[in-house]
């Protein structure tokens, strides 16, 4: 029976809403987070109900939670985040 290689860390997608007129300043702050060795791996501006989708990676679910609440959620102009943790199926 083949064994699966243990997964290193966790990955999640954070859907980010911003206050009107704050999108550019939030992007600047999110880019600053990504540029300082944090676990924010990728950031896209998107259309629709969210303004950004960030891909984050961390060693544990708790570490993802701290990144989302302490760093992303604390940015002035971020009004709401929704975190979608990536899972393996099958």
Give the DSSP per-residue string, 45-89: E-SSS-SEEEEEEESSHHHHHHIIIIIITTSTTEEEEEEEE----
Whole-Å CA distances, 48 to 1, 10, 29, 37, 63: 45, 26, 21, 29, 28
Structure-model confidence comparison of residues 47 and 4, the more confident one: 47
Q: Report the mean per-residue pLDDT for the chain.
A: 88
Tens digits of per-residue pLDDT, 40-82?
899 999 999 999 999 999 988 998 999 999 999 999 999 999 9
> Largest Cα–Cα distance in the chain?
56
């Amino acid at each position: 029976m083949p064994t699966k290689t243990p997964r290193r860390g966790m990955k999640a997608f954070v859907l980010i809403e911003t206050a009107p007129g704050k999108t550019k300043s939030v992007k600047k702050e999110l880019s600053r987070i990504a540029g300082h060795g944090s676990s924010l791996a990728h950031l896209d501006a998107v259309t629709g109900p969210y303004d950004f989708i960030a891909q984050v990676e961390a060693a544990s679910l708790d570490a993802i939670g701290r990144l989302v609440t302490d760093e992303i959620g604390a940015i002035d102009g971020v009004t709401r985040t929704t975190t979608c943790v990536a899972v393996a199926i099958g």
